Chains A and B, each alone.
Chain A
């Protein structure tokens, strides 16, 4: 019964449930991205400050967040923080916190890269034209960094969407979990359901990320 598995997807509300499951992770990544963009911009500016303390602090933060697998960070937030401080964080709150911390670090590094890519003579020229600091920032720095940053930020969004799939491992009911429920419920009637359900989830993630990646690629090419 090779072709019977696919019909499971169209029974009852199964397909809708899968989409709802996908939305659970998409919502987390969306919130995390929206929070990390402003925080990351601030963090990036903080990193480029000449103050050695701010450099050291931001460096340690960035390196720690970067070197740890995101799943480890999730475990620390979900199991560790709950225990250490007695806070009762739900899985989705800890996921938003972790992915915001991670996104802030990554975004901050992108902002730092964009800021230091502006050669010094640009600042000198702006000063020679009599611009003050705010004008230099608004008319010289921001327009140039934006072109570099926007495609990279869009890419960060797809990375975020892909990484939030991990939340199933701290017990959230998202698309993979819903898929498993559907498979288990139909284990005896449709033994091949797993292939189709996981295949569709695969496709759904692709459809969520691919257009965003394409957009980033296009913008990157146009603004190079």
Chain B
């Protein structure tokens, strides 16, 4: 297998642009999904009536449908009732819609791992509900949730590969384009793999370091 290096150098900027787009969508999507996740999990934790039901319906829907189908609905379906979003915005909303439920489940398992005695102790110290959440429940819950959140982050970055389906020029799209245009399949695929490794490998290593640290933290008490 001989690689055409001139080709790879020539189209490197295409891949860099595409990688930036992938990272951008992943970043904003994940940020939004964390916000959605925190809101949903707190509502479920406090068992807020009615809203809690709506959120559990949302979680079931979002977890049981593929992102690609969600994106097609957002991008091609919604404009028919007058909601026209750019492809990029659709992708971010899609990632947030999908990721929100996964984040919510991870955060909720953390919140529920905090023992009741902790909350009672906080109450006996005269702390308000909000203060208890901020100072007592949340920090402890976070330690339990973080491995799950890290796994979700990696999962969501991988899921962004789907956005080429709504014509966004991400890494997959550029690769398919180059294969179609120049038939330099090996080179295009190699660069695709390398670029995904550049994005995902550091994050996955950081995630495993964090996870290991937290596991040691757990032993002390």
Contacts and interface: CB of A to CB of B under 8 A. Distances in A.
A9 to B, nearest CB: 13
Q: Dominant SS at the B interface?
A: helix
Contacts of B52: none
Contact of B72 (A5, A161, A176): A176
A206 interface: yes
Contacts of B120: none
Interface in B106-156: 154
Given A80-B186, A176-B69, A191-B80, A69 B158 contact: yes
B70 interface: yes
Interface in A105-135: none
Contacts of B70: 202
A39 interface: no
A33 to B, nearest CB: 16
B44 interface: no
A69 B76 contact: no
B80 A168 contact: no
B69 A210 contact: no
Given A75-B189, A165-B69, A201-B72, A69 B161 contact: yes
B87 interface: no
A191 B80 CA distance: 8
Interface residues of A, number: 41
A201 B78 CA distance: 14
A162 B73 contact: no
B189 A80 contact: yes
A158 B66 CA distance: 10
Most buried by A among B64, B72, B76, B186: B64
A46 interface: no
B55 interface: no
Nearest to B75: A198
Interface string A191-211: 111111111011001100110
Given A79-B179, A202-B73, A72 B196 contact: yes
B73 A199 contact: yes
A70 B164 CA distance: 13
Contacts of B69: 165, 176, 198, 201-202, 205
Given A69-B172, A194-B80, 13 more contacts: A72-B161, A72-B193, A75-B189, A76-B193, A79-B189, A80-B186, A166-B66, A168-B165, A169-B164, A198-B72, A198-B76, A201-B69, A213-B60
Give me the 9 closest cross-chain CB pairs, A-B, nearest first.
A69-B161, A209-B64, A165-B66, A195-B80, A198-B77, A69-B158, A162-B66, A192-B80, A71-B161
